[in-house]
Structure 1
Amino acid sequence: MTRRTAIKTGAVLLGLTLTSCTGEAAPSPSSPEPASATPASSTAPTATFTFGTAAQPLGLDPALANDAESQRVTRQILEGLVGVNETTGEPTPLLATEWTASPDGRSYTFSLRPGVKFHDGSPFNAQAVCTNFERWFHFPQALRQQAPGSTFKGVFKEHSDEAGLSVFKACTALSPLLVRIDLTERFTGFLQALTLPAFAISSPKALAAGRADVLSENRGSQSLSAYATHPVGTGPYRFSAWDSTSVTLVSNRNYWGDRGQIGTIHFVAYDHPQTRLQALLDGKIDGYDAVTVGNFDQLVKRGKQIIQRDPFSVMYLGMNQEVPVLEDLKVRQAIELAIDKDTLIRRFFIDNTAQASQFVPPKLSGFNNNAPALGYDPSKAMELLAEAGYKGQPLKFYYPMNVDRPYLPTPEKVYAEISRQLTAVGLNIKPVPVDWADGYLQKVQSPGDHALHLLGWNGSYSDADNFLAPLFGEKNGEFGYQDPQVFSKIDRARGLPDGKERTEQYQTINAQIAQTVPAVPIAFPISALALSDRVISYPASPVLNEVFTKVQLRP
């Protein structure tokens, strides 16, 4: 039996939206919403659902943690103004029931859902929205350095200490249920960006009580605030507990929407693929994420459900141009030429994973069919290294241990193969394994001695800007990449109205990035989940917007 025939349920979400860029803001949602927040069902959910994850979350304050495991949990607890339509991927009402945009695209007015309360009993209103926006805008530089998972700058360009360069201007509470957000310039993807977990609305009371901007606590190597260990939102689940192996959530009895079947969720971390698989086979968990190639075949033989997500991520080899030897374009080109992407994909990724030559997935407009790619040519790689005068300088190669990511299954094995390929052309590779829980993300995304590293980017909304701006919109500690022309083009493209000019601009940007090789895109991976027979359906999403009220279980 092939891997493909083992799939009982497919996940083909966002099918319409992934074929085009984010559109301009519509005056209001296309479907009407109820006028008040009344629970959709009076039946209290009683089921317990246990989900296996590839790692513990790095923190539960979504404004400061952008790893997939943290977001998986916080999506259940907190909600933003705007949600994502499961079928089309378009922005849909959530805590805002409708919105209007000014003609110049610089002001958005949101009508808020009435009668909603935070889990601590405090009211959700316009002032609460503004408290959150002002908090993100005013994040101090010291906090941003401690918590590189902050998303605000990647979307809005700058914080209040560089207010003149920020896209965000102000948030104004016009009335308890009416809020206006002003921007300094048109931002075509603004509504889509608001669907990011980072812009979920926290209880102002809880933020203050938990000293959310003071990272005074430690969990492993992570510095967290008290709030990040006990988040408070308006979502369908309330935080209950977080221990050394799991996070527990319970149904919010006052939730304004449908509470679903599940009354208690346990997110249990298994840092090895085989232990996740065995836990499912033993009936300890109801499902797990990050199915690997080896898992896939075993699951097929056992007749287990496998759900594949549409590819909406890119896995890459990062290069840090702050390391002197990597300043030379010929060395970076040699590294690209040395990598046999076909072998990597065939050995370590699920079937139908596509090879990548750029950082924007092919289903998004802005993808460039003609982006330059050097291909696999070890002989040419050795020639370029000789031309560059490479003398065997050591290159520290960071890779994560004890984790699998949706974009990077079995990273230790992927590292070993890439390292072998690079060594074969004469590069002096020095392995630097770092446990994921020991701050791997912070180490490779901050300035440092990492010459090479393995990482990826999972898109959160269907716009090329979501891939290019966070990675290459400005100089950062991950790549040490400095191309003012690309920075300027990205800045311009994100403000253009949707259409031919915007698409062509992103295509040009993709080609320019490919020519200078700041990193090597390797694959657009297909990720997959495994589920027990108890699960009838699971809301698989390419952007990982998977809220467990929509899980359906057998009686």
Structure 2
Amino acid sequence: MPSRTVRRIAASIGAALLVLPLASCTGSLGPAPSSATASPTSSAAPTAVFTFGTGSEPLGLDPALVSDVESYRVTRQVLEGLVGVDQTTGEPTPLLATEWSQTDEGRTYEFKLRENVKFQDGTAFDAAAVCTNFNRWFNFSPALRKQASGTTFKGVFKAHADQAPLSIYKGCTAVAPDNVRIGLTQPFTGFLQALTLPAFAISSPKALAAEHADVLNQSRGGQPMSAYGLHPVGTGPYVFGSWDSGSVTLASNKDYWGDKGQIGTIKFVTYDQPQTRMQALLEGKIDAYDAVTVGNFDQLVKSGKQIIQRDPFSVMYLGMNQDVPILQNLKVRQAIEMGLDKDTLIRRFFIDNTAQASQFVPPKLSGFNNNAAALGYNPGKAKELLAEAGYKGEVLKFYYPLNVTRPYLPTPEKVYAEISRQLTAIGLNIKPMPVDWADGYLQKVTSPGDHALHLLGWNGSYSDPDNFVGPLFGANSGEFGYQDPQVFSKIARARGLPDGTDRTSQYQTINAQIAATVPAVPIAFPISALALSDRVLKYPASPVLNEVFTKVELKP
């Protein structure tokens, strides 16, 4: 008899707390009351204008084809997925699906869909729309994936239609207008958590077709995108308004099925330098901004501004590309790790309580390995290793981004300068390769190329260790040129194991093995912080950045 687990949950989603803990659950589905009705909404239309300062412009507004924080910050307001995230526990909660069940030992999921929901173009949301989206993601062509700035489907489902036997996605069936079945080829414990990712938000099939969503023949800031990527259409509480140079404007969705909140207009305004963001807040030009830096922290406090710190749920790292011949030598990679003074980097450039990282899974998640190998800072030993490896001064191109602030990397140029100084001190020949973030930095360092070293980070999107090690080290990638079939196999096995000691132990082993082979050097689990004006009473801060502005509370 196949196991059957049923999850029935209240469909109304409460307001978020101001400061939120992150649950360390990895898939627990506890009981909750059943309800399939939409949240009661106020008859009064929201009227407040809320202006938010961002660190960079979006790379595109089709969430299936981007993977950057600022794109998702916008698309989370416009589009919704089947499953949401509980702001206090991190567990899956109803969104476009009101309840779900799993059968066939976790290979089949059925979702009861919310009724009487419409996309912002007036078309009905139903099971057929869900399947249109899943099948679209599965059928992304290799050419499209290469053009896009970042796709998520492969990281979760392992492969697309061109490599169907390798994919864990089996298919989507519209059982009835309000019932959809998604089949997997093998169990995946984090499946429901993965569905909370912005990349799996459901777009209007009509808009996808009309705006030729899979034809990236448009451009914005040098980024290829489709007409749909310039004008997304979902079921969310805000409707896309405009995307001008340096700003995106959204308006309240008058037909939204849930709570519309207080805000009638959202303006995302880009300030790519920390000082200009802070100054805009102090001058009253914006109501909030993300990515407070060490250099601004004290001044904001002295000015009496509110600062909210998120629990650490990201990792900042120095990437190494083993497609560059000299980096195939383990001793060279170990020397690079031993040449890094992580304490100095964290003290100078990250907010207090940022922890040093020796692995890629944050401490709050099961699978974190307290005993993962860390070589430590030892510049003398690093020089010895380089000599043993036969390093002859080969040039290492070091890529780093300009004009951007990420939650995991508040001041990239300064971090680069210090790391470059440290690595030069042990005898490495570093060639700086600055690339403007808006000029395709993310694509350049995650695709095959000549990048030997690069600065990047990973912001977790759901509370499962697979969300960290799977996308980074679950398969060969252009970012690291990493080939370890044993680790690939262990990650594939661990993601399907049920929660418990065996799964935790497997991820601990994976973390230790990655640490021992040094495909990249984890540096910090950064604390990220937002600054708010006095006008803001509550802000739905989330470690996984699931921050929908209907939950913002403003002073009358």
* TM-score range for the pair, normalised by the shorter chain length: over 0.9
* Counterpart AA for 1:13: L
Aligned to 1:249: 250
Aligned to 1:30: 32
Aligned to 1:188: 189
Q: For residues 85 and 119 of structure 1, what CA distance do their matches in structure 2 show?
A: 25
Aligned to 1:485: 486
Per-residue Cα deviation, 1:448-496 (whole angstroms, up to 9, x for no partner): 0000000000000000000000000000000000000000000000000
Q: For residues 217 and 33 of structure 2, what CA distance do their matches in structure 1 show?
A: 44
* Counterpart AA for 1:22: G
Query: Retained in 1: the 8 A contact 2:149–2:440?
Result: no
Aligned to 2:144: 143
Aligned to 1:6: none
Aligned to 1:264: 265
| Aligned pairs for 1:66-77 within 5 A | 66-77=67-78
Query: Retained in 2: the 8 A contact 1:65–1:149?
Result: yes
Query: Retained in 2: the 8 A contact 1:444–1:453?
Result: yes
Aligned to 1:520: 521
How far is the alpha carbon of 1:34 from its aligned partner?
3.9
Secondary structure of 1:164's aligned partner: helix
Per-residue Cα deviation, 1:417-439 (whole angstroms, up to 9, x for no partner): 00000000000000000000000
Q: Bigger CA drift: 345-354 or 141-150?
A: 141-150
Q: For residues 415 and 103 of structure 2, what CA distance do their matches in structure 1 show?
A: 48
Secondary structure of 1:414's aligned partner: helix
- The percent identity for this pair of structures is 77
Distance 1:127 1:78, change over 3 A: same
* Counterpart AA for 2:49: T
Per-residue Cα deviation, 1:135-170 (whole angstroms, up to 9, x for no partner): 000001100111141100000000011111101100
Aligned to 1:78: 79
Query: Retained in 1: the 8 A contact 2:39–2:259?
Result: no
Secondary structure of 1:211's aligned partner: coil
| Aligned pairs for 1:96-495 within 5 A | 96-495=97-496
Q: For residues 541 and 215 of structure 2, what CA distance do their matches in structure 1 show?
A: 35
* Counterpart AA for 1:73: V
Distance 1:14 1:108, change over 3 A: farther
Q: For residues 322 and 328 of structure 2, what CA distance do their matches in structure 1 show?
A: 5
* Counterpart AA for 1:275: T
* Counterpart AA for 1:391: K
* Counterpart AA for 1:545: N
Distance 1:161 1:14, change over 3 A: farther
Q: For residues 21 and 458 of structure 2, what CA distance do their matches in structure 1 show?
A: 18
Aligned to 2:547: 546
From 3, 13, 22, the equivalent of 2:20 is 13
Query: Retained in 2: the 8 A contact 1:11–1:541?
Result: no
How far is the alpha carbon of 1:33 from its aligned partner?
2.7
* Counterpart AA for 2:45: A
* Counterpart AA for 1:216: N
Unaligned runs of 5+ in 1: 1-8
Secondary structure of 1:155's aligned partner: helix
* Counterpart AA for 1:363: K
Q: For residues 544 and 208 of structure 2, what CA distance do their matches in structure 1 show?
A: 27
* Counterpart AA for 1:68: V
Query: Retained in 1: the 8 A contact 2:19–2:308?
Result: no
* Counterpart AA for 1:180: R
Q: For residues 118 and 128 of structure 1, what CA distance do their matches in structure 2 show?
A: 10
Q: For residues 139 and 345 of structure 2, what CA distance do their matches in structure 1 show?
A: 43
Q: For residues 19 and 550 of structure 2, what CA distance do their matches in structure 1 show?
A: 19
* Counterpart AA for 2:26: C
How far is the alpha carbon of 1:21 from its aligned partner?
2.5
How far is the alpha carbon of 1:553 from its aligned partner?
0.2
Q: For residues 456 and 316 of structure 1, what CA distance do their matches in structure 2 show?
A: 5
Aligned to 2:13: none
Secondary structure of 2:65's aligned partner: coil
Query: Retained in 1: the 8 A contact 2:373–2:516?
Result: yes
How far is the alpha carbon of 1:42 from its aligned partner?
1.2
Query: Retained in 2: the 8 A contact 1:95–1:113?
Result: yes
How far is the alpha carbon of 1:12 from its aligned partner?
4.4
How far is the alpha carbon of 1:32 from its aligned partner?
2.8
Q: For residues 327 and 14 of structure 1, what CA distance do their matches in structure 2 show?
A: 40
How far is the alpha carbon of 1:265 from its aligned partner?
0.1
Matched, 1:535 2:536: yes
Aligned residues between the structures: 541
TM-score where L is the length of structure 2: 0.96
RMSD of the TM alignment (CA)?
1.1
How far is the alpha carbon of 1:87 from its aligned partner?
1.1
Q: For residues 88 and 497 of structure 1, what CA distance do their matches in structure 2 show?
A: 19
How far is the alpha carbon of 1:39 from its aligned partner?
4.7
Per-residue Cα deviation, 1:263-295 (whole angstroms, up to 9, x for no partner): 000000000000000000110000000100011
Aligned to 1:4: none
TM-score where L is the length of structure 1: 0.96
Secondary structure of 2:511's aligned partner: helix
Distance 1:11 1:464, change over 3 A: farther
Secondary structure of 1:342's aligned partner: helix
Per-residue Cα deviation, 1:382-431 (whole angstroms, up to 9, x for no partner): 00000000000000000000001000010000000000000000000000
How far is the alpha carbon of 1:118 from its aligned partner?
0.2
Q: For residues 18 and 186 of structure 2, what CA distance do their matches in structure 1 show?
A: 36
Q: For residues 324 and 305 of structure 1, what CA distance do their matches in structure 2 show?
A: 49
Query: Retained in 1: the 8 A contact 2:57–2:70?
Result: yes
Query: Retained in 1: the 8 A contact 2:120–2:253?
Result: yes
Query: Retained in 1: the 8 A contact 2:17–2:88?
Result: no
Per-residue Cα deviation, 1:284-339 (whole angstroms, up to 9, x for no partner): 00000010001101101111100000000000000000000100000000000000
How far is the alpha carbon of 1:38 from its aligned partner?
6.2
Q: For residues 200 and 32 of structure 2, what CA distance do their matches in structure 1 show?
A: 22
Q: For residues 288 and 441 of structure 1, what CA distance do their matches in structure 2 show?
A: 22
Per-residue Cα deviation, 1:120-143 (whole angstroms, up to 9, x for no partner): 000000000000000000001100
Q: For residues 182 and 551 of structure 1, what CA distance do their matches in structure 2 show?
A: 37
Secondary structure of 1:544's aligned partner: coil
Q: For residues 452 and 59 of structure 2, what CA distance do their matches in structure 1 show?
A: 24
Secondary structure of 1:63's aligned partner: helix
* Counterpart AA for 1:30: A
* Counterpart AA for 2:35: E
Q: Bigger CA drift: 355-364 or 100-109?
A: 100-109
Query: Retained in 2: the 8 A contact 1:13–1:89?
Result: no
Aligned to 1:501: 502
Structure 1 consecutive aligned stretches of length 4 or more whose deviation exceeds 2 Å: 9-15, 20-23, 31-35
Secondary structure of 1:432's aligned partner: strand
Unaligned runs of 5+ in 2: 1-15
Q: For residues 524 and 81 of structure 2, what CA distance do their matches in structure 1 show?
A: 31
How far is the alpha carbon of 1:14 from its aligned partner?
4.3
Query: Retained in 2: the 8 A contact 1:80–1:195?
Result: yes
